Amino acid sequence: MRDIRVGHVMHHDRKEQVMKTGRYLRTAVAGWLAILALAGNVAALANPEDPWSPAIKQVDDALARKEYSVALRAANDAYSLALGTSRWDGMVSAGDLYRRIGEATGLKRSFETKAREAYQKAFFRARQQSSVEGVLRATEGYAALGDAQMVGLGLRVAQRLAAGDPEAQADIRTFRARLNDTHPVGELR
């Protein structure tokens, strides 16, 4: 009888060890599944320097596969991540993403509203930060939308910000020349 009890105790210890191992294994699997689920979440992959960069790549990949709803979700992620900073460059990137999705889907007008909203936020942030580069990048977005009024405003604001800075003034001249090459006067509305 003693052997049976010892065997029973050993069997019970073994059973408990197997159950613990099973719990550890389930926890590890759940952890890996959570990591894999987060891999699809742009915010979880974001770089603090450019948190919207992974979203840009996701939009590029989705557009290449013609997965427009995936591209839109990633563009919305980029917009949200850019909104969470005070930087103008993320908002310009988000505007560019919406514009590209509109071009790829043939729904330009529908996506122009979101692009315009992102460019507007970028423009105001850049102006507030006295960034000639930021104002010009937002203005470039407006030019791509064909918005002559905002292009004119952008150039005037950039000129004011560049006062006394010959390098910034040269950037504006280069921008104007490039703008005239890519968007003839009659093309902007």
DSSP string, 5-66: HHHHHHHHHHHHHHHHHHHHHHHHHHHHHHHHHHHT-HHHH--SSSTTHHHHHHHHHHHHTT
Q: Domain of 9?
A: 1-39
**Does residue 9 sit in the same domain as residue 87?**
no
What CA–CA distance (Å, rounded) separates 31 from 182? 51
Same domain flag for 32 and 56: no
Q: Are residues 8 and 77 in the same domain?
A: no
Number of domain units in the chain: 2
- 90 with 8, same domain: the answer is no
Q: What tens digit of pLDDT does each residue of 111-123 get?
A: 999 999 999 999 9
Cα separations (Å) of 20 from 24, 34, 99?
6, 21, 54
Percentage of the chain lying above the pLDDT 70 cut = 70
Can you give the CATH number for the domain in which 159 is found? Answer: 1.25.40
Q: What residues have CB less than 8 Å from 97, skipping those under 6 apart?
A: 55, 56, 59, 71, 74, 75, 78, 79
**One domain for residues 31 and 56:** no
Q: Which two structure tokens, joined as six digits, stand for 65?
A: 């596969």
Whether 33 and 83 map to the same domain: the answer is: no
Same structural domain for residues 73 and 161?
Answer: yes
- Paired tokens of 30: 């759940």
Q: Do 118 and 138 sit in the same domain of this protein? A: yes
Same domain, 168 and 102: yes
| Domain identity same for 130 and 56 | yes
State the Cα–Cα distance between residues 55 and 74, nearest whole angstrom.
5
- Same-domain check for residues 55 and 127: yes
Q: According to the model, what pLDDT value does residue 52 have?
A: 86
- Structure confidence by residue, pLDDT tens digits, 10-63: 555 666 665 666 555 455 444 444 443 444 444 445 456 778 889 999 999 999
* Cα atoms in the 13 Å half-sphere on the side-chain side of 26: 6
CA atoms of 46 and 52, how far apart (whole Å): 6
Q: Is 55 found in the same domain as 35?
A: no
Distance between CA atoms of 143 and 183, rounded to whole angstroms?
A: 7
Q: Which of 2-6, 79-83, 117-121, 124-128 has the lowest mean pLDDT?
A: 2-6
